[in-house]
Amino acid sequence: MSATANLPLDELRFWETSVGKKAVMAVTGVLLFGFVIAHLLGNLQIFESPEKINHYAETLRSVPVLLWGARITLLISVCLHIWASFALWRLQRAARPIPYVKKSNTHSTYASRTMMWSGPIVLAFVIYHLLHFTFGVVHPGGPFDKHNVYNNVVYGFQFWPVSLFYIVAMIMLCYHLYHGLWSMFQTLGFSHPVYTPWLQRLAKVAAILIAAGNISIPVAVLAGFIKPV
Backbone phi, psi, residue 113, to 5°: -75, -15
Question: What are the residues whose beta carbons fall under 8 Å from the beta carbon of 190, sequence distance 6 or more?
Answer: 196, 199
Residue range 209-213: mean pLDDT, rounded? 95
Domain range for 163 is 14-222
Query: Is there a domain that residue 6 lies in?
Result: no
The answer to whether residue 48 sits within a structural domain is: yes
Q: Is residue 227 part of a domain?
A: no
In this structure, is residue 5 part of a structural domain? no
- Identify whether 8 is part of a domain: no
Confidence of residue 95 (pLDDT cuts 50, 70, 90): low
Residue 4 CB neighbours (<10 A): 8
The domain that holds 112 is classified in CATH as 1.20.1300
Number of structural domains (the chain) is 1
State the chain's mean pLDDT as an integer: 80
How much is the pLDDT for 106?
47
Q: What is the pLDDT of residues 154-208, one digit of tens each?
A: 999 999 999 999 999 899 888 888 877 877 777 666 666 777 778 888 888 999 9
At position 42, the amino acid (one-letter code) is G
Using CB atoms within 10 Å of the CB of residue 149, give its burial: 0 to 12 exposed, 13 to 18 middle, 19+ buried: buried
Which carries the bigger pLDDT value, residue 61 or residue 224? 224
What is the C-alpha separation between 179 and 111, in angstroms, rounded? 6
In the DSSP assignment, the letter for residue 99 is: P
pLDDT at 7: 46
Q: Is residue 215 situated within a structural domain?
A: yes
Tell me, yes or no, whether 4 lies in a domain.
Answer: no
Contact 187, 25 (CB under 8 A): yes
